Chains A and B, each alone.
Chain A
Amino acid sequence: MSPLTRDGHLSDLGMELYALGELVPAAHSEAEAHLQACGACQGRRAAMDTIELPTAPEAAAPAQPPRLAVVPGGGAPKPAPAPEAGRRTRWWPAVVGTLALAAGALSMLLQPKPGAEYQLRGEGLTLEVYRDSEAGVEALGVGATVQAGDHLGFRLASAEPGHVLVFGVDARGVAWPAWPPGEAAHAVAVEAGPARALDAAVMLDDATGDERVLAVRCPDGFDFAAVAAHVGTEGPPSGLDPACAWVEVRLPRAAP
């Protein structure tokens, strides 16, 4: 049995069995040859090693009550930042709706431009970052800074159809998912169109150093895991397909 999908990539199962050494020799050789030639599958294979397993069933720790914190300006308690450093919390707010409405009313529309704040490759991909606070919703323009606890929302415009994923990268080069949320996120198929609010937002943790938020649009689908395995401290993920467009918004941390 060939471990390749109908479009010639390693199937999920084929990849798993290859990693486990459970493919029959002919299929193993086929998988190995494909992996040597296919950057996308190399990325998927590398991402497999980054997964963090939960505690084994029999040794599972007793459930802990959720940690709650009151978000400034919000009426209801919101989930606290995850305890591990470098992670961002999914932010579940009714504020997302508020943000979308308020963002539409904002007169200032950020346009990506080369320079210290924005870098981009490819035409027609625009990423706007907003902050929601007690003072209201503000678009983060040139010179804006961010700090721990900031709630960030996003708007995206694409002049071409494609698959888009928005993610952040902290100063250490560790990626965190923004849209769609979750480590298991897949790029979302988008149509060409004007800027729209994305149904996701994040709350910044207390990591140090500047944050970068990137949107990547590719003709084909891709996963956050593949992106996360190839990000560095500068620029887009390494080995990005030349057919992909990307835009980056750099968000300096406010001085303590």
Chain B
Amino acid sequence: MPDIQELYRRYGGLVLRRVRRFYASEEANDVVHEVFCRAIEKQDTFRGESSAGTWLFRLTTRYCLNRLRDQKRRRELLDAQGDLGWWAPSTDTANQERVAMTRELWAELDEELALVGIYYHVDGMSQAEIAEVLAVSRRTVGNRLEALETLLRARVQR
């Protein structure tokens, strides 16, 4: 794994663009720094099974999600930005209803289910791509999506 300056030169844009899906630009720069610090801490988890870009994309998504899941942070966000722009799907054919419900549930969901929900409903990724990003099998992705659907359906019936 290269040093932080080299990582930053090559992957700074990727990380910043990903962070901006979760945070407004004024806060995004700080989060980018935090992500790179985390990347250095976690560099031993990079085993070359995917590209470094994929590894950083996953690490950034997980970091942003967990930062948002912090209860205090969540409260601040909901107060200050009731409309979280990052839940807008990157493409329009994503299931808007599922996006809205995932948004409602994101703080309650298991981290892995929340990540699958973001990749599938918000990013519009295919199951194969999600499997590669999460370094799990397609079957695992399918199972998690099914579990997420079950939760969302239960929510609707509540």
Contact = CB atoms under 8 A, between A and B. Distances in A.
Given A4-B126, A60-B33, A219 B133 contact: no
B141 to A, nearest CB: 12
Contacts of B149: none
Nearest to A199: B83
Interface residues on A, range: 35 or more
B4 A1 contact: no
Interface residues of B, number: 46
B14 A16 contact: yes
A22 B85 contact: no
Interface string A1-43: 1111111010111101100101000000000000000000000
A178 B36 CA distance: 30
Contacts of A191: none
Given A5-B124, A16-B57, A184 B85 contact: yes
A17 B16 contact: no
Given A5-B126, A11-B124, A22-B53, A54 B37 contact: no
- Which 5 A-B pairs give the minimum distances between C-beta atoms? A220-B92, A7-B93, A5-B124, A54-B29, A184-B20
25 contacts: A5-B123, A5-B124, A6-B93, A7-B93, A11-B123, A11-B125, A12-B123, A16-B14, A20-B10, A20-B11, A20-B51, A22-B52, A56-B5, A56-B8, A56-B9, A57-B4, A57-B33, A58-B5, A163-B92, A181-B24, A184-B20, A184-B28, A185-B85, A187-B88, A220-B93
Interface of A: 1-7, 9, 11-14, 16-17, 20, 22, 48, 51, 53-54, 56-58, 60, 163, 180-189, 219-221
Interface of B: 4-5, 8-14, 16-18, 20-21, 24-26, 28-29, 32-33, 36-37, 51-54, 57, 83, 85, 88-94, 96, 123-126, 128-129, 132-133
